[in-house]
Amino acid sequence: MAQIETPSETRPAAWVAFEHAWAGVAAYTATITVFDEQGTQVQNLVLNYTFRKPSSATVYVVKGTNAGGTLVWNGGNTVVAHRGSGLLALLTKTYSLHDPVVTTLRGSSIEQLSFAAIISHAQDTAGTASETTGPVIDGVSTETVTLVPASSATDAGLTTEVVDISSATNLPIRVLGYDGPTLVRQVQFANVRLQP
C-alpha cells in the first residue's frame, strides 16, 4: 500500500475513517479468505483469525495449506504452531515469523493479515493513494482506496493495491493486490466481531 501518512485533509477520507475506527478496537475475530498467486502456483486459504492489540494473533487454518493447524504469534519474530487439541496441542513447533511454512504463498505472515498491519504497511510504503466509491460486497457498500507503490520491488512485486473499506464499519472488507493487470492476491474479511 502507498504511504499515506500525510495531513488528514489530504488523505482519502475512507482511510482516515479506517484509522479512527481502528483506534477504538481492542481486539477482533474474523474469517479471512486468502487467494495468492505466484508464477504458476495458486493458494486458497480459509482462516479463523483472532487479533488483540498491541501484537497478538491466533490463526486456525480451516482450509488450504496446513489445514487443521493453529498458529500463535505474541509479537516478536517467531510463531508457535500446533495441530489438534488436547494432548496433541502440546506438541508444538516454533518457526521464524516469515518462514515459508507459516506464511502465505506470496509471503504474508500471521501479523500481516491484521487491520493493524494494513495501516502500518500503508504508512511505511512510499507511493500515491486515491479514493472512489467502491463495489457492494456481500450487501455492504464500500469506499475504495487505491494505493500505487513507488516501487513494486519493495512491495512484494505488487504494482497496485486496492482496499475496499466498509461504509458501515469503516474497516476493510477486502484487500486486492495486482501485478500489472493481473490479480495475484485477495484477502477478504467476513464475520468480523469487534471488542472495543
CA distance 127 to 150: 4
CA distance 121 to 125: 6
Instruction: Give domain status of residue 172, yes or no.
Output: yes
In this prediction, residue 131 carries a pLDDT of: 94
Residue range 91-127, pLDDT digits in tens:
789 999 999 989 999 988 999 999 999 998 888 888 8
Instruction: Give domain status of residue 1, yes or no.
Output: no
Is 123 in contact with 23 (CB distance < 8 Å)?
A: no
In this prediction, residue 117 carries a pLDDT of: 93
Residue range 14-68, pLDDT digits in tens:
999 999 999 999 999 999 999 999 999 999 999 999 999 999 999 999 999 889 9
Domain that includes residue 53, residue range = 8-195
Instruction: Give domain status of residue 90, yes or no.
Output: yes
* Strand ordering across the sheet containing 78-83: 92-96, 78-83, 69-73, 56-63, 41-52, 27-38, 182-195, 172-179, 160-166, 142-149, 127-133
Instruction: Give domain status of residue 59, yes or no.
Output: yes
In this prediction, residue 89 carries a pLDDT of: 56
How confident is the prediction for the chain on average, in pLDDT? 89
Q: How many CB atoms lie within 10 A of CB 158?
A: 22
Instruction: Give domain status of residue 97, yes or no.
Output: yes
CA distance 28 to 150: 32
Of the pLDDT bands very low, low, confident and very high (cuts 50, 70, 90), residue 9 is very low
29 Cβ neighbours under 8 A, 6+ residues apart: 48, 49, 50, 51, 191, 192, 193
Instruction: Give domain status of residue 44, yes or no.
Output: yes
Instruction: Give domain status of residue 68, yes or no.
Output: yes
Q: Which residue has the cell 482511510?
A: 15
Q: What is the share, in percent, of the chain residues with pLDDT greater than 70?
A: 91
CA distance 12 to 18: 10
Checking if the pLDDT of 75 tops 50, the result is: yes
**Counted domains in the chain:** 1
What is the pTM assigned to this prediction?
0.88
Handedness of CA 28, 195, 146, 157 (dihedral sign): negative
Checking if the pLDDT of 145 tops 60, the result is: yes
Instruction: Give domain status of residue 2, yes or no.
Output: no
In this prediction, residue 125 carries a pLDDT of: 82
Tell me what the mean pLDDT of segment 151-168 comes to.
88
Question: What CATH number has the domain bearing residue 113?
Answer: 2.50.20.10
In this prediction, residue 87 carries a pLDDT of: 52
Checking if the pLDDT of 10 tops 80, the result is: no
CA distance 103 to 148: 24
CA distance 72 to 129: 33
